[in-house]
Every structure is written in C-alpha cells, then in structure tokens.
Amino acid sequence: MIRQLSHVYRVDAEARRKGLSPQKRLALHRAKSQRVMDGLHKWLTRQLDDRLVEPNSALGQAINYMLKHWERLTQFLRVPGAPLDNNVAERALKKSILHRKNSLYYRSPNGAEAGDVYMTLIHTCELNRINPYQYLVALLRHADDVASQPHAWLPWNYARRPNRACPGGA
C-alpha cells in the first residue's frame, strides 16, 4: 500500500516540477494514478471481504476509514487543483495547538498578546521561507525603519528584497 501511495505522490511531484496547470495535473493523475488507486481500492476491499484483516483491529479500522472516505480521498482524480492531502492545514493547526499549550505560562494579557504576535510572525516567516531568527534580528536592528515603513518590513516584502537589507538603504 505504501509503494502504491508513494507512486501517486511521485506523480504529483512530477506535476509540480513541470509546473502543470490544475487541468494538466488532473490529466496526469488520471493517466498515471487512476489505475494505482483503483487497484488500491480493490486491495482494501478484499482485505475486509475475504477476512484477511480483523475489522476491529487498528489496520481494519484504518481500512474501513479509507473506504468510508474514498470519494474525498480521491478527489485529486476528479477535481482540478484538489490536493493529495491536507498536510499544509494540519501543520498550521499544530503550530496553533503548540502555541495554545505554551500560552498557559504567560503571566499577563500583555505577555500573551506579545506571544501571539511573535507566533504569527514566526509562522508567516516559515510560510515565506524566511529564517524567523534572522528576520526578527533584522527588525530589531532596524527598529526606526520598521516604525517609519512597516509595510516594507512585512515578511513577504522582506523576502522579496535581494539582500534583505534595510528598505531605506541604511
């Protein structure tokens, strides 16, 4: 099963590497992944129908879950642009959950607000492929410029600067 799914992810990586449009990505998956996913569906069904797996075991429950949600799990074969998984959303949620856990130790509402701001900045940096530590150091080193031109120091604007120096040239 893992080999089958890794094939589908390789096809998706190929589509990204080639910069395919959602329609062309869909066509590529239909050509290269449809047969694999159909075979996987048959295999999963056979595991339960032929009683090769105990339905109440962890594997049996996982197979039941996949079969129950098969339509949604295979939308990438029917809907242009549908992602293979929701890992991006899950990673973002994990950040929030970790921050919520850590926020139990804030001593005041002001401290909590500062923590929220930093968590948001750090996550935005990661989404823009910026080293959060270097970004925060740059903000501190250029505090006057940040105060006078805050828009220029937003993470996505900071990321576009070739040398990531001060926007005003200082």
Q: Which residues contact 135 (CB under 8 A, 6 or more apart)?
A: 121, 125, 155, 158
pLDDT at 19: 96
pLDDT at 167: 54
pLDDT at 98: 80
Sign of CA dihedral 58, 75, 28, 16: negative
pLDDT at 10: 97
Domain residue spans of the chain = 2-77, 87-160
How crowded is the C-beta side of 18, counted as CA atoms within 13 Å?
Answer: 12
pLDDT tens track, the chain, 170 positions: 899 999 999 999 999 999 999 999 999 999 999 999 999 999 999 999 999 999 999 999 999 999 999 999 999 999 999 999 888 778 777 877 887 787 788 888 888 888 888 888 898 898 888 999 999 999 999 999 999 999 999 998 887 876 665 555 44
